[in-house]
Chains A and B, each alone.
Chain A
Amino acid sequence: MLNILILGLGQCGNRVLDAVNHEAFGSGGTFAKYYSRQKFPASVKTIAINTAINDLKGLTDTRAKDRFHVPHLHGVGANRTLGKKVFDDNKEQIMSEIDKRGSFELIFIVTSTAGGSGSSFAPLLVKELKKAYNAQIICIAVLPFREEGSIFLQNTAFCIRELVAESPNGILLVDNQYLKKYAGDIKSAYDKINTSVAMRVLFLIEALNSEMLMVTDLGDLKTVMNGGIGIGTMGYYEAGKDGTIKSAILGSFKPSGLLFPTNVYNEGARAMLIIKGDKKYLDLDLITKTVEELSTDVGQVFKGVLIKKGRPKVLSLFTLNSVPELERIYADAADAIRFEMDKREQSKKQLDGAFAHIDDLEPIY
């Protein structure tokens, strides 16, 4: 059985982690935690790490002992520089808390790239985990709404760069801006995004830990994540009543099922397809044929088939050769930083001009 650790960093990471824990209760709803136990498909440990204690208190399905507060008032205020310092100051406690959970073969780090704690902790934590564990480390990086502000954009830019620099086994992008259009209001968008990510993560864990008709394992995952620039995303599709397995596979490549806007057929480097469903729906020949067709466009496609009751569900996981959306983000971030610098310069000049009015004067009482 795989030993898996899921770390939720910062407010966003905590929420996604809480959604994973909630989904692990199954279909019990809000009160499931009062009468049921989480049923992870593998040996899964979760830790929510945050400097803001209120964010930790806001979690509902994560056990108290799985919430770790890094003490620094009530957060670092989206200041990554401060966040890094806080991490360095509390690095040993954080690693000790992780170490209590045992050893792992696969570690997920879920974080927002825009915030303070998560975005600053994530690259440093990857570095520490790589030193401490011989495990695959997958970062699930959540990109912010673009209108959230220039600080979030610049945090995203620097966070992703630092993450890539620390070379985790892979970075899976989740774009709030992209997914918002499928949700509606902000609140339900957040909930839906968190749930979507949670379902995909649990699907992947189940596939990696189960005996399958066609096998994908941790090694395949590593190979997939080594493809392209090591950055990718996930897609998902659940077949309708009359849908075929082929349509379900192709559906998982569609934009509506992806967590990050990309054209898989053009930009995909490697992919992994995990197909789950009742045996009567799973035509292996058709699956093989479809996968072969996809391979001509996407490159290497690993496939796994998991026999479970229900209509076919397909999880797709890609790495990309190029990420145009990231380029746009970085451009916007650069503009935002410059704009911020200019504005600060002007403000400073304006303030200095104001002070100049009283340069030769002294207060009279």
Chain B
Amino acid sequence: MLRLSHLVVVATILLLSSLIMTAAASSDYGEQIFERNLNVGEGVEIEHSITIEVVDTTEDIVDSAEFCISSPRAFARTVKVFMGDMPTKYETYNGACIYLDVISVHDETVLLMVTGPKGWRVTRYYEAEDAKTESESESAAETVSVPELVITRTLDRNHVEQGETVGVTFKIKNTGNGTASEIKLDEPLLREAYQENCPSNLDDIAAGATERVSYDLKIINTPPGTYELGATLLNCKDESGAAYSFESLSNTLKVTVKDVQVPTLEIGITIESDDNTMICGERFPVTIGIMNTGNATSGRVTIKSHLPDDVRVADGEIDPVYESIKPGDYVEHEVMMIAYEPGKHVIKMDALWADDEVSASAEFWAEQSSLATYYPHILAAVPIGLLLVGIIRRHKEYSY
């Protein structure tokens, strides 16, 4: 009695949970594709490609059902879904997901709800048990020829630089007892790479035969990184026209950028002043430094200056030419400049090499000397002073 009431409580909780989860599923797990009672052996086809077959049901404390799910380019997978549990996710080859949720299990019947991408519909209901029964009955009557392709993909290198080519070879062995025909090879693409001479249709492969196919994978602008080269898919048919699908293992390919040997120059202008303020008419030192931060020696480097009209070079070569600058080397030249007019001045310098150039600029302020304010007074005072000196000298000359 106690056990029965206990079961009722657990069942109630699970039922409520399943209701809550169902409500949640409808919002978080896409839209409902179907909800239907399925018996063991029955199956559902969604969007003509995904099949879900009921393999088994179990009634226990928590009921469950076992399903076999398959889709193109993916192995068939058997999953067990418990009633009241979170919907079970199944990811198809192209990345779209469907969610399986067991609503109830009774005997060999399961009430299954499947949700997924909007617009997906059930394209077929079928009974797998019948097909199996037919197949078994046919195999009993005659030996069936089935191809079994084993595909091995090898890359001639696992590390490649941009601009290089990877040789890709497929070794396809038919380990079955039937000829594989209408073989279609579906090779996944790698971003910014080009598959040269990659075959899409292969010749028939007889039972026990091995074929080798290769193509060149040209890495053009594939960004540097490590890539998982997805499995190669082979679709074929047997003599009876039945379709089969086989796939290879995935490969890892590391792409790096080719190390280009180029010089890279940086130019800097240093005006030696505490506050970048100069006195008009006074000389001040300016240092122009060039550093090669690249990985190759530069050719001839020409320095070209752009000075304001009222800024002149007083001493030094401002536009020198350097025959070469090695990687990591720093060269500098110092010139003495004079600004003649007050105000803001900008010095611009270019470093030109090969077909490249780099520029730098520096600004400073020039202001009149405080002494300049007194120039009129000084100009007036000088002749007066000289006159006074002359008078004093004359006075002394005539004083005894």
Q: How far is the CB of A57 from chain B (nearest CB, A)?
A: 5
Q: Which residue of B has the minimal Cβ distance to A67?
A: B400
What are the residues of chain B within 8 A of A33 when measuring CB–CB?
Answer: 394, 398
Among the listed B394, B399, B400, which residue makes an inter-chain contact with A34, where contact means beta carbons less than 8 Å apart?
A: B394
Taking a contact as CB atoms under 8 Å apart, the answer to whether A57 and B391 are in contact is: no
User: Which stretch (A5-13, A58-66, A327-335) binds chain B?
Assistant: A58-66
Instruction: Say whether A56 faces chain B, with CB atoms less than 8 Å apart.
Output: yes
Q: How far is the CB of A42 from chain B (nearest CB, A)?
A: 22
Q: How far is the CB of A69 from chain B (nearest CB, A)?
A: 8
A33-B399 Cα distance, complex, nearest whole Å? 12
A65-B396 Cα distance, complex, nearest whole Å? 10
Main secondary structure of the interface of B (DSSP, over half): helix
Q: How far is the CB of A350 from chain B (nearest CB, A)?
A: 45
What are the residues of chain A within 8 A of B391 when measuring CB–CB?
Answer: 34
Q: How far is the CB of B317 from chain A (nearest CB, A)?
A: 52
* Interface core residue of B390, B394, B400 (most chain A CB under 10 Å): B400
Q: How far is the CB of B188 from chain A (nearest CB, A)?
A: 109
Instruction: Say whether B395 faces chain A, with CB atoms less than 8 Å apart.
Output: yes
In the complex, number of A-B residue pairs with CB atoms less than 8 Å apart: 23
What are the residues of chain A within 8 A of B395 when measuring CB–CB?
Answer: 34
Taking a contact as CB atoms under 8 Å apart, the answer to whether A64 and B394 are in contact is: no
Taking a contact as CB atoms under 8 Å apart, the answer to whether B400 and A64 are in contact is: yes
What are the residues of chain A within 8 A of B398 when measuring CB–CB?
Answer: 33, 60-64
* Interface core residue of B394, B396, B398, B399 (most chain A CB under 10 Å): B398
Instruction: Say whether B397 faces chain A, with CB atoms less than 8 Å apart.
Output: yes
A61-B394 Cα distance, complex, nearest whole Å? 10
A220-B302 Cα distance, complex, nearest whole Å? 89
- Within B35-59, the residues touching A (CB, 8 Å) are none
- Bitwise, B362-400 to A at CB < 8 A (1) or not (0) is 000000000000000000000000000011001111111
- Bitwise, A70-83 to B at CB < 8 A (1) or not (0) is 00000000000000
A85-B316 Cα distance, complex, nearest whole Å? 78
Q: How far is the CB of A192 from chain B (nearest CB, A)?
A: 23
Taking a contact as CB atoms under 8 Å apart, the answer to whether B396 and A64 are in contact is: yes
Interface residues of A toward B: which range? 10 to 19
Interface residues of B toward A: which range? under 10
Q: How far is the CB of A26 from chain B (nearest CB, A)?
A: 16
- Bitwise, B196-224 to A at CB < 8 A (1) or not (0) is 00000000000000000000000000000
What are the residues of chain B within 8 A of A35 when measuring CB–CB?
Answer: 390, 394
- Within A11-67, the residues touching B (CB, 8 Å) are 33-35, 56-57, 59-65, 67
Q: How far is the CB of B398 from chain A (nearest CB, A)?
A: 6
Q: How far is the CB of B270 from chain A (nearest CB, A)?
A: 56
A212-B397 Cα distance, complex, nearest whole Å? 35
Q: Which residue of A has the minimal Cβ distance to B393?
A: A34
Q: How far is the CB of B384 from chain A (nearest CB, A)?
A: 14
Q: Which residue of A has the minimal Cβ distance to B394?
A: A34
Taking a contact as CB atoms under 8 Å apart, the answer to whether B390 and A64 are in contact is: no
What are the residues of chain A within 8 A of B397 when measuring CB–CB?
Answer: 63-65
Q: Which residue of B has the minimal Cβ distance to A58?
A: B400
A57-B390 Cα distance, complex, nearest whole Å? 21
Q: How far is the CB of B119 from chain A (nearest CB, A)?
A: 116
What are the residues of chain A within 8 A of B400 when measuring CB–CB?
Answer: 56-57, 59, 64, 67
A33-B391 Cα distance, complex, nearest whole Å? 9
A57-B399 Cα distance, complex, nearest whole Å? 7
Q: How far is the CB of B87 from chain A (nearest CB, A)?
A: 119
A29-B395 Cα distance, complex, nearest whole Å? 15
A62-B394 Cα distance, complex, nearest whole Å? 11
A60-B397 Cα distance, complex, nearest whole Å? 10
A35-B389 Cα distance, complex, nearest whole Å? 12
A59-B391 Cα distance, complex, nearest whole Å? 17
What are the residues of chain B within 8 A of A34 when measuring CB–CB?
Answer: 390-391, 394-395
- Within A298-356, the residues touching B (CB, 8 Å) are none
What are the residues of chain B within 8 A of A59 when measuring CB–CB?
Answer: 400
A64-B396 Cα distance, complex, nearest whole Å? 8
Q: How far is the CB of A63 from chain B (nearest CB, A)?
A: 5
- Bitwise, B260-278 to A at CB < 8 A (1) or not (0) is 0000000000000000000
A61-B391 Cα distance, complex, nearest whole Å? 14
A35-B388 Cα distance, complex, nearest whole Å? 11
- Within A128-142, the residues touching B (CB, 8 Å) are none
Q: How far is the CB of B90 from chain A (nearest CB, A)?
A: 119
A34-B394 Cα distance, complex, nearest whole Å? 6
A63-B397 Cα distance, complex, nearest whole Å? 6
- Bitwise, A196-208 to B at CB < 8 A (1) or not (0) is 0000000000000
A55-B201 Cα distance, complex, nearest whole Å? 140
A35-B394 Cα distance, complex, nearest whole Å? 8
What are the residues of chain B within 8 A of A61 when measuring CB–CB?
Answer: 398
What are the residues of chain B within 8 A of A60 when measuring CB–CB?
Answer: 398
Q: Which residue of B has the minimal Cβ distance to A56?
A: B400
- Bitwise, B306-327 to A at CB < 8 A (1) or not (0) is 0000000000000000000000
A62-B399 Cα distance, complex, nearest whole Å? 9
Q: How far is the CB of B220 from chain A (nearest CB, A)?
A: 95
Instruction: Give the A-binding residues of B (Cβ under 8 A).
Output: 390-391, 394-400
Instruction: Give the B-binding residues of A (Cβ under 8 A).
Output: 33-35, 56-57, 59-65, 67
Residue pairs across A and B with Cβ atoms less than 8 A apart, 23 shown, are A33-B394, A33-B398, A34-B390, A34-B391, A34-B394, A34-B395, A35-B390, A35-B394, A56-B400, A57-B400, A59-B400, A60-B398, A61-B398, A62-B398, A63-B397, A63-B398, A64-B396, A64-B397, A64-B398, A64-B399, A64-B400, A65-B397, A67-B400
Given pairs A34-B394, A56-B400, 9 additional interface contacts (CB within 8 A) = A33-B394, A33-B398, A57-B400, A59-B400, A61-B398, A62-B398, A63-B398, A64-B397, A64-B400
Please name the 8 residue pairs, one residue from A and one from B, whose CB atoms are nearest each other, closest first: A64-B400, A67-B400, A34-B394, A34-B391, A57-B400, A56-B400, A63-B397, A33-B398
